[in-house]
Structure 1
């Protein structure tokens, strides 16, 4: 009797095995993109038994094999660090500099997509293509964000600043609506230029004039009540006026209200 029971059990298991064979799943068959041949016959993630897929597109079509997310985990995009900023595109006038980064691993299986690979920022060079100093002309003060400044001032071997700069505080009198009209990454800092607020603008090399200790447009030669003009580098339509409050050794304004003469 026992022998008959064992035979019956074996036949039952064999029959079930023919109906639902040993799990195949996605082990060893993960595919990129959409691939109709990247499939198996097994349980799907929606608990239906039948043809299931192991390509990246199965996440959208909702017909992945049951073990897809275990065997084929999502791969987020990985990028390199930013390169150094390039030089300004044009010398002796407001222009644009660029920095880039590169994809080290492309996203897969529903992983996070790659971020932007290029950033642009306003800048202004003070030397021409031949290395000569650009001529200074009267006009508005050109400013940019601290984030896009040329970098830290140089120090000597004893920790002292070489040709140290200074800071000028202004009260913003007016600005054009164009300062908030754009959403490009290198123009977002302009949203913090708000009428009535006090802002701090650092004067650092190379914008600092070594001979006079001033920056173009810093108001050193103007009287206390003079209304001065400024323009944001990177968006020439973002401009306005301000009044000089005082000159200080360092900038004490909140970070979002700190800018740099350029």
Structure 2
């Protein structure tokens, strides 16, 4: 009896070695869900018998022992972001968009593809004919400091534009909607919090060529005057603040630094 058990054990070991030599999933399909992608070999749970080599075996836990060697996971691969588009509507708060495309689909349990499109608030200062837009009224429009990175630093003749300035405000109030933002282009609104001091940069082209200031920067108002602001890209995120001072540069933490639009 003992010799019979030993022989069976030896045969199983040989099968195991044979499996490691040739691979249970070697030459079998790896992608998709296919119940025909099977063979007889050692499974990952150390049970010898029917094992599978399709993508679903990772969830059902009946993969062949070498599945992740023969069928390595491949994450989704995407291209770089395109340039930002122009604003959807000139001369008023609007949206811009950028896209990227999938270069490789995920397989064998790899990471899924990220978002392929991003939108962000914007405002252009010339209409489709090239004419300068008129001054807008209402609250000060602000957006993330990231927006300023794409602004031109030189005019059409190559001359450097004015460096601009910074205005510090003490946030008095903000609508509850600001803290509920979950879309990529509105995450920055979560950091708009009552009682915090924020910095808002006034730079070209938001800076008027005639007055060398930005709409809503509080210039000429009383120090205790309550001013209104609105987040570009989400009309529901708005509030009030009081002007503290004007400085040459913004020194607030990144999450509390914004730009005028």
Q: Structure 2 length as normaliser, TM-score?
A: 0.87
Are the aligned partners of 1:30 and 1:71 in contact in 2 as well (CA < 8 Å)?
no
Runs of 4+ in 1 over 3 A off after TM superposition: 19-22
Are the aligned partners of 2:181 and 2:189 in contact in 1 as well (CA < 8 Å)?
no
Flag the structure with larger Rg.
Answer: 1
* Deviations, residues 222-261 of structure 1 (Å, cap 9, x unaligned): 2322211100001101111111111111111111100010
Q: Distance in 2 between matches of 1:137 and 1:155?
A: 24
Q: Could you tell me how far 1:150 is from its partner in structure 2?
A: 5.4
The reply on whether 1:80 has 2:79 as its aligned counterpart is yes
Q: Secondary structure at the match of 2:193?
A: coil
Structure 1: which 5+ runs fail to align?
Answer: 1-11
- Pair 136,177 (structure 1): closer, same or farther in 2 beyond 3 Å: same
The reply on whether 1:126 has 2:128 as its aligned counterpart is no
Q: Distance in 1 between matches of 2:75 and 2:209?
A: 49
Q: Tell me which residue corresponds to 1:194.
A: 193
Q: Tell me which residue corresponds to 1:6.
A: none
Are the aligned partners of 2:161 and 2:204 in contact in 1 as well (CA < 8 Å)?
no
The reply on whether 1:203 has 2:197 as its aligned counterpart is no
Q: Tell me which residue corresponds to 1:164.
A: 163
Q: Distance in 2 between matches of 1:248 and 1:38?
A: 68
Q: Distance in 1 between matches of 2:136 and 2:99?
A: 33
Q: Could you tell me how far 1:28 is from its partner in structure 2?
A: 2.6
Q: Distance in 2 between matches of 1:82 and 1:169?
A: 33
How is 1:6-155 mapped onto 2 (pairs within 5 angstroms)?
Answer: 16=11, 20=15, 22-23=18-19, 24-149=23-148, 151-155=150-154
Q: Could you tell me how far 1:177 is from its partner in structure 2?
A: 0.8
Q: Distance in 1 between matches of 2:149 and 2:126?
A: 14
Q: Distance in 2 between matches of 1:30 and 1:59?
A: 14
Are the aligned partners of 1:140 and 1:230 in contact in 2 as well (CA < 8 Å)?
yes
- Pair 160,90 (structure 1): closer, same or farther in 2 beyond 3 Å: closer
Q: Secondary structure at the match of 1:168?
A: strand
Q: Structure 1 length as normaliser, TM-score?
A: 0.87
Q: How many residues align?
A: 247
- The CA RMSD measured in Å over matched residues stands at 2.3
Structure 2: which 5+ runs fail to align?
Answer: 1-6
